Amino acid sequence: MSLVNRKKNNQGFTLVEALVYFSILLIASVAAVATYLSYSDILRELNARTIITDNAQVVMERVVREVRNAGAVDPFNTIEDIAVGSLGLTSVDSGDVTFTVEGNQLSLSSNGQPAINLTDDNLDVTENLESIGTLEVKQN
């Protein structure tokens, strides 16, 4: 008879068993959320670095092309300053070309035409002590 009574008393979970189960579930949930947030930050940084790399590659290809085609540096359109900088080039193929860093943007003007931005609107061209020119992604 004692075996039958024992089976009737063992239906369900005890309070201690339920607390242990919920504690383990809570710890696993916190670990999963922390891992997700960490991966989300890593993905956001990776996307920002991809934007910077792609934009820098396009800008550098354009600058290299114009420098290779240049016959001379235009001293009247070249300014070396901390806040504003520009490089003026004279080319046989494309005429006068000026690269300008102003207002945290890199722009290009050619043959007196209005300047066009070479950098993405989400990027700032900044100067710091560690490296002469860096590109940073704006946090929106």
Report the half-sphere exposure of 82 (CA within 13 A, side-chain side). Answer: 2
- pLDDT of amino acid 21: 95
At residue 67, does pLDDT exceed 90? no
Higher pLDDT, 11 or 41: 41
Domain that holds residue 27: 2-137
pLDDT per residue as tens digits for the range 9-40: 567 889 999 999 999 999 999 999 999 999 99
Q: Give, in degrees to the nearest 5, the angle at Cα 115 between 118 and 139.
A: 40
- How many folded domains does the chain comprise? 1
pLDDT at residue 86, as a whole number: 75
Tally DSSP H helices, then E strands, for the chain: 2, 8
Question: Per DSSP, what are the bridge partners of residue 86?
Answer: 79, 100
* 129 secondary structure, DSSP code: S
Strand partners, 70: 91
pLDDT of residue 9: 59
pLDDT of residue 4: 52
Q: What is residue 130's predicted lDDT score, i.e. its pLDDT?
A: 42
pLDDT computed for residue 112 by the predictor: 74
pLDDT at residue 5 above 70? no
- Model pTM score: 0.52
Helices (H), 70-118: none
Choose the most confident range, by mean pLDDT, from 7-21, 38-52, 85-99, 105-119. 38-52
